Structure 1
Amino acid sequence: MDVTPLVPEGVQIIHGYGDGGFRIAQVFHRGPVLVMPETTLPWSVVPASALDPLDLDALEPILAAEFRFDILLIGTGATQVFVPPAVRQRIRERGPVAEMMDSGAACRTFNLLLAEGRRVAAALLPVD
């Protein structure tokens, strides 16, 4: 039985994570990434300090995108880390609802939401 999520043509799914990066649309990306349905960009953060404090300027490719996202998944690495409510509110003011989870959960959730046709983006810290 095939359990691969059905996603619209032209969107990319996350195939795997680990070893300091992510396999997205069959391409390995080392380090932190910003993932949108049709593109993946390097996320210009240093993983150890990426969330303390979360630099909204580094999220600008997602927050300023012409296509507005409803959900921004923030993959916080190997464990779930929460950002302050004030930062979540600042993201919400720009459009998407921010959800923090470990990066593995964020990858799986991204794929699921894409399969549901949701407008989702992800900012992911790598897992070694």
Structure 2
Amino acid sequence: MGKRGEPLEVRNAHFPSMVQIEAYGNGGFRFADMSHRGSLMCIPSGVYGWEPKSFEEITDEALEHVLAEADNIEVLLIGAGDELKPFAESRKAPFREKGIMVDSMSTGAAVRTYNVLLNEDRAVAAVFIAVENT
């Protein structure tokens, strides 16, 4: 419950800028002194809660927001969960057409790579499947 017994308002998770991921694991992420339970999408317009809970749930529809901001992205990192899972070459075509390189790796490796590229002011975007253990 919220203040004075009012129902707690749940909003779509969104942080309006690109920030470093401070920690991951236990089914979520920490960034900007906040925590988020579930998967994340980090694109130039900010950090968003993201629906997919497994690599297999990463559909073309789930990646539409990345393509919508393609003018400001050179690299898309896919954090596939606990282990490396390849992103099908055939699914990379729409990203290549917009000049975006796609690289899939475990969520931990993707978080570390994302933080480095963001620190270097590279035009990076990432989607991360939440993992339980780190």
Same fold (TM > 0.5): yes
Alignment map for 1:20-59 (pairs within 5 Å): 20-37=27-44, 39-47=46-54, 49-50=56-57, 54-59=58-63
In structure 2, runs of 5+ residues without a counterpart are: 1-16
The whole-number CA distance in structure 1 between the counterparts of 2:51 and 2:59 is 10
Q: SS of the residue aligned with 2:36?
A: strand
1:4 match: none
Within 2, Cα distance between the matches of 1:47 and 1:31? 10
Superposition TM-score, scaled by structure 1 size: 0.81
- Does the 8 Å contact 1:12/1:37 carry over to 2? no
Distance in 1 separating the partners of 2:43 and 2:68: 12
Give the 3 Å change call, closer, same or farther, for CA 48–76 of structure 1 in structure 2.
closer
Shift of 1:107: 0.5
The higher radius of gyration belongs to 2
Moved over 3 A (4+): none
Aligned-residue Cα RMSD (Å) equals 1.8
Q: 1:63 aligns with which of 67, 88, 91?
A: 67
Give the TM-score normalised by structure 2.
0.77
* Uncovered stretches (5+) of structure 1, i.e. residues with no partner: 1-9
Distance change (3 Å), C-alpha of 1:69 and 1:100: same
Matched residues in 1 for 2:104 and 2:67: separation? 16
| Alignment correspondent of 1:81 | 85
Q: Which residue of 2 aligns with 1:3?
A: none
